[in-house]
């Protein structure tokens, strides 16, 4: 099956190609085969190899060519849920455990980058959730009170009258800041993880999609690619939910892949960037169909959102980019003359309850479904699942979550336009 082409992201355009991959046929035997060369697979391969396992990583395209290289570069400490809603649904203890797993994931990214000498522009900046309507600010006040009481003392509440100390933009009414969040250059992180994994002894093949898998009682697994076949004692599936190949149908029925689109501007002047973004945080708006944005190290504005409920391809990316550009210039009139340097689309893998999934199914280990928090959670869960596969089941904080298939969902999100209409109605009403 042929993968559809996509527009290159700013991160891909500004990162040299990975040069550490294997050039020959896909062949051999190993302790662990990792399927997928995004943050999950690269982090797992690195940790497994550092622990002494023989590792072969098989990536269908180029490393970090899918979601890991096509996001907004935010590395945030919060979950995809309001903490109060998570506690109401699952109880305070589990909500606290999962929230702290996301906080720890940011620590993990920073620790691995420092240990391996990965220059990926990792910076602790904090994340500001911006109230897009006056009536949203009381919700942020309630969230602040609950977070500081139960789980996270490292949050700040910024009232409407103080907001210019955080950001100078049109149409916001206060903010909730999680100060432990960070930002980074995803392309540089992926390149560094790949190089570190190879230094540790892992072997990485690009352009090697796994088209068939067979479990053999005596030797574990046989994985077949167009370039050859490998045998592995254990397998980690780190593809996300968007792989079109037959072996991954069980995962596709449990994940809804939605498009998320991003633009990058030309560099802003130091004076303008300092005026608009005095704290240089990650920013996300409080609408359901909202936006997220941040500055890069060289003062480009990365501005993204679910501009259209569609999947990514060059035509879709271009249409979505025009929507994002109009919204950006509305939010920041001072950017009226700033050019757009790149426009791209990516994928967010959503589970039905927007909690990650990791564990073992039918002998296959897996980690995926990060629901918009993949930069930090994928990196952390790759490392954690490597430890699980090495005999430490307690390393997986999501081990006890069941994962039923989504009714009526076979892999293609035919219902996205209806979901988009519903979300926009909710934003209008609330």
Q: What is the pLDDT of residue 422?
A: 46
| Sheet containing strand 127-130, strands side by side | 155-158, 175-178, 127-130, 282-285, 291-295, 301-305, 256-265, 340-350
Q: What is the pLDDT of residue 216?
A: 85
Q: What is d(CA 96, CA 99) in angstroms, rounded to the nearest whole number?
A: 5
Q: What is d(CA 291, CA 305) in angstroms, rounded to the nearest whole number?
A: 4
Q: What is the pLDDT of residue 257?
A: 86
Q: What is d(CA 139, CA 147) in angstroms, rounded to the nearest whole number?
A: 12
3-state secondary structure 129-163: EECCCHHHHHHHHHHHHHHHHHCCCCEEEECHHHH
For 236, list phi and psi in degrees, rounded to 5.
-115, 120
Cα distances (Å, whole numbers) of residue 357 to 47, 135, 237, 367:
19, 34, 12, 6
Q: Which residues, other chains included, contact 166 with Cβ-Cβ below 8 Å and sequence gap of 6+?
A: 128, 158, 175, 177, 278, 279, 281
Strand partners, 213: 223
Continuous segment of H or E residues that includes residue 76: none
Continuous segment of H or E residues that includes residue 316: helix 314-331
Q: Which residues, other chains included, contact 303 with Cβ-Cβ below 8 Å and sequence gap of 6+?
A: 262, 263, 264, 265, 291, 292, 293, 324, 327, 328
Residue carrying the six token digits 């046929």: 25
pTM (predicted TM-score): 0.93
Q: What is the pLDDT of residue 287?
A: 86
Mean per-residue pLDDT pooled into runs of 10, the chain (430 residues): 65 96 96 98 98 98 95 91 91 96 98 98 97 96 97 97 96 97 98 98 97 87 97 95 82 89 97 98 90 97 78 83 95 97 91 94 96 95 98 97 87 56 54
Residue carrying the six token digits 């040069």: 19
Q: What is d(CA 88, CA 240) in angstroms, rounded to the nearest whole number?
A: 28
Residue carrying the six token digits 């990583």: 57
Q: What is the pLDDT of residue 413?
A: 62
Q: What is d(CA 118, CA 309) in angstroms, rounded to the nearest whole number?
A: 35
Q: What is d(CA 259, CA 315) in angstroms, rounded to the nearest whole number?
A: 13
Assess contact for 30 and 202: CB atoms under 8 A: no
């Amino acid at each position: 099956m042929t993968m559809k082409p996509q527009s290159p992201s700013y991160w891909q355009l500004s990162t040299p190609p990975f040069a550490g991959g294997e050039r020959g046929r896909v062949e051999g035997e190993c302790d662990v085969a990792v399927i997928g060369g995004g943050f999950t697979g690269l982090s797992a391969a690195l940790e497994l190899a550092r622990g002494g396992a023989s590792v072969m990583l098989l990536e269908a395209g180029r490393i970090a060519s899918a979601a890991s290289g096509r996001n907004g570069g935010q590395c945030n400490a919060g979950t995809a849920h309001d903490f109060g809603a998570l506690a109401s649904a699952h109880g305070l203890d589990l909500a606290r455990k999962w929230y702290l797993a996301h906080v720890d994931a940011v620590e993990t990214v920073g620790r691995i980058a420092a240990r391996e000498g990965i220059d990926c522009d990792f910076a602790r900046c904090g994340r500001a959730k911006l109230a897009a309507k006056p009536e949203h600010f009381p919700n942020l006040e309630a969230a602040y009170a609950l977070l500081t009481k139960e789980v996270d003392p490292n949050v700040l509440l910024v009232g409407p009258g103080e907001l210019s100390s955080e950001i100078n933009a049109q149409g916001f009414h206060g903010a909730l800041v999680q100060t432990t969040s960070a930002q980074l250059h995803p392309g540089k992180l992926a390149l560094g993880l790949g190089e570190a994994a190879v230094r540790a002894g892992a072997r990485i093949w690009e352009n090697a999609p796994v088209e068939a898998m067979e479990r053999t009682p005596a030797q574990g697994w046989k994985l077949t690619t167009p370039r050859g076949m490998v045998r592995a004692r254990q397998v980690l599936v780190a593809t996300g939910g968007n792989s079109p190949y037959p072996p991954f149908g069980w995962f596709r029925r449990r994940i809804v892949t939605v498009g998320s689109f991003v633009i990058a501007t030309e560099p802003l002047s130091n004076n303008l960037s300092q005026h608009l973004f005095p704290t240089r945080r990650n920013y996300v708006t409080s609408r359901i169909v909202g936006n997220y944005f941040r500055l890069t190290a060289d003062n480009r504005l990365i501005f993204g959102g679910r501009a259209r409920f569609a999947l990514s391809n060059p035509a879709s990316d271009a249409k979505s980019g025009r929507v994002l550009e109009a919204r950006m210039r509305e939010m920041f009139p001072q950017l009226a003359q700033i050019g757009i340097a790149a426009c791209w689309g990516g994928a967010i893998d959503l589970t039905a309850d927007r909690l990650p999934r990791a564990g073992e199914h039918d002998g296959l280990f897996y980690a995926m479904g990060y629901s918009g928090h993949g930069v930090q959670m994928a990196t952390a869960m790759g490392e954690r699942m490597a430890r699980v596969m090495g005999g430490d089941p307690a390393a997986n904080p999501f081990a006890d979550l069941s994962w039923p298939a989504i009714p009526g969902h076979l892999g293609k999100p035919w219902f996205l336009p209806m979901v988009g209409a519903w979300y926009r109605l909710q934003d209008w009403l609330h």
